[in-house]
Amino acid sequence: MAFLMDDPAAAGTEVQPVPRWVRQALRALLGLALCVPSWAVSASVVKTTVNSTTGESLPVTDLAVEASILMAVCCALVLFGLKRSGGTSGSSVAAPGLAVLILILIALPDGAALYTDPASGDWAAARQRWQWLGGAALSLCGLQAWMRRPGYAPFWK
- What local confidence, expressed as pLDDT, does residue 103 receive? 92
Q: Do residues 10 and 90 make contact, with C-beta atoms less than 8 angstroms apart?
A: no
Q: Do 116 and 123 contact (CB within 8 A), yes or no?
A: yes
d(CA 98, CA 77): 8
Q: Which parts of the chain register pLDDT below 70?
A: 7-16, 50-56, 86-88, 148-157
DSSP category for residue 80 = H
pLDDT digits (tens, 9 = 90+) for 58-71: 777 788 888 888 88
Q: Domain extents for the chain?
A: 20-147
